[in-house]
Amino acid sequence: MKIKRMFIDGKWIDAQNGKTRTIINPYNQETIATAAEGDTSDAKAAIAAARKAFDQGEWPNTPAVERASIVQKIAELIERDKEELAELESLDTGKTLEESRWDMDDIAGVFRYYAEIVDQNSGEMIASPIPNSVSKVVHEPVGVCGQITPWNYPLLQASWKLAPALVTGNTLVMKPSEITPLTTVKIFELIEEAGVPAGVANLVLGPGNTVGSELSTNVEVDLISFTGGIETGKKIMQAASVNVKKLALELGGKNPNIVFADAEFETAVDQAMNAVFFHAGQICSAGTRLIIEESIHDNFIEALVERVKNIKIGNGFDEDTQMGPLISGEHLTKVENYVEAGKKEGATLVVGGKRPEDPALQDGFFYLPTIFTDCTTDMSIVQDEAFGPIITVEKFQTEEEAVNLANDSIYGLAGGVWTNDIVKAERCVSKMRMGTVWINEFNLYFPHAPWGGYKQSGIGRELGKLGLEEYTETKHIFHNTDPKPFNWF
C-alpha cells in the first residue's frame, strides 16, 4: 500500500523518523491507508520552508489577481475530482457518501468565494485632517501561518483556512488530524497541480503533541489557526504567547435549539433531528440542546422519538444509510461515558443510549441516536460537548426563560429559534450570545457569512470577509506631500 506522504518545500517526503500510521475505516476498522507519522523535526523543516518562501519568495508580492487565479484553479480541480474526494472523506470519517459530496461542493465554493473577493480587501484612501497629505490603509499578509484542523470535517475545515491564507499572500504549514488525513493529502496534490509555488503551502502529518505543539510555540510562525476541542485550544493559546502570534480559535459548542409552541410542528421536529444526527452528531454546531415550550413538550418528544427509531444506521457507502459510525473506539467510549453520566444525574433516557445490536455493525464504532428528557442546566450532559448523536431536552414556559436557558453555557457558537412570530424571534436572537443564530433553520452556513463563537467557543472568525481579514495585517501609510522644517528646537 502506497504511503501517504508529507508535502514540504514542494516535495513529497516521508517522515524523518521513518514512522507511519495506519488509517482505518470507522465503519469496520479495515485498513484503508498508511500515512507518514511526522514529528517536531518535520514541523521545523516545514516552518523553515514557509518562512523562506514568505521572506524571500515572490508569493506575498504576487498581484492579488494572479493569486486569485490559482485559488480559482484549485476550486476547479476540486470539482473535477469531487467523487474521489468524497469517497476518501467517507472512508476516512464514516459519514455518508451523500454528505461528503455536499461537503465537496461547499469546499469548491469556499475557494471560489475567496478568489472572487480578494480584490475587495486591497485597502482604502482615508480623509486626512492634515493639510498637504495623503493617507491610506492597506492590508498585507500576516506571514507564516500554522493551521491545525479536526477529524470531523477534515477537508471542509481545511478549506476555510487554506483559501483565505493563500489568496492574501501568506505561506502556511497545515497539520490535519492524524486519524483523518486522506483528503488533506489529496488537496495538497491539487494545490501543487494548480501552480502554488514550492514552500508556500506545506503539509505535515503527525500528532498534536509534537507537530501541533511545534506550530504553536515556534517563533517563526506568525499566526496559528486551530479548530478543535476547548482544552487543546487553551493550551495552544498559552503556547502562542511566546511570540504573541495572531490567533484564530474555533473551539466547539453546546448549541441550543429553542422550539416555541407556535412553531410549524412537523418542520421543527424534522429539523431537530437534522440539527444533530448528521455525521452522528460529530458537528461543532449540532443542536444538541433541545429547549421546548412546555405546552408542546410531550407531543414533540413523542413525535421525535418515533422518527429517531427509524434512522437507518450503516455503511456510509450504502444509499439508504442515514447515519454512519463515530470516528474511533476512543470516541465511542467517551460518548458511552457521557450517557452513563446523564443517567446518574437523573435525566430520563427515552430512546437509544447503547450500541446497536445488529451483527453487521459490530465491527464499527456505532452508537444509537439517543434522547434524554428531564434535563436541567446544572447537569454535565447539558453543559459538556458530547460530540455524538445525543439530544438533551429542557422545558421552558416563558420567552425570557428560553433565552436564559440558551445562554447558560460556557459556549456561544450557534443556536436556533423556531416560531411563526418573527417579532418574538428577533427579540430572542438579539439576546442570544452566539456567533450564529438561525430563525426557523439550523446548521445552515455559506462562505459569504462569518463563522465563529462568543465566550469559550473561540476567538476570531472564519468565512466571509472577516475570514479573509484574519490572514492580513492592517497598515496605515501617511504621506506628507509638502514637508517643511518644523523649527521646534
Residues 50 and 74 in one domain: yes
d(CA 324, CA 313): 6
d(CA 306, CA 304): 5
Q: Could you list the active site residues?
A: 250
Residues 187 and 328 in one domain: no
Residues 399 and 329 in one domain: yes
| Greatest Cα pair distance in the chain | 90
Residues 209 and 285 in one domain: no
Compute the C-alpha angle 378/381/385, nearest 5°.
115
- Ranges under pLDDT 70 in the chain: 1
Find the domain containing 297 and state its range. 256-439
**Position 113, amino acid:** Y
- Residue 52: Cβ within 10 Å count: 16
Global pTM value? 0.96
- pLDDT recorded at residue 417: 98
- pLDDT recorded at residue 2: 83
- pLDDT recorded at residue 120: 81
Residues 239 and 270 in one domain: no
Residues 378-431: tens digit of each pLDDT: 999 999 999 999 999 999 999 999 999 999 999 999 999 999 999 999 999 999
**CA distance to 59, 78, 112, 115, per residue, from 70 (Å):** 11, 13, 10, 8
Residues 246 and 260 in one domain: no
- pLDDT recorded at residue 1: 66
Could you list the beta-strand ranges (E) of 277-366.
289-293, 348-351
b/e for 333-362, b at 16 or more Cβ within 10 A?
A: eebbebbeebeebebebbbbbebbeeeebe
Residues 194-219: tens digit of each pLDDT: 999 999 999 999 999 999 999 999 99
- pLDDT recorded at residue 485: 92
- Residue 76: Cβ within 10 Å count: 14
Tell whether 487 is covered by a domain: no
Residues 243 and 270 in one domain: no
Tell whether 405 is covered by a domain: yes
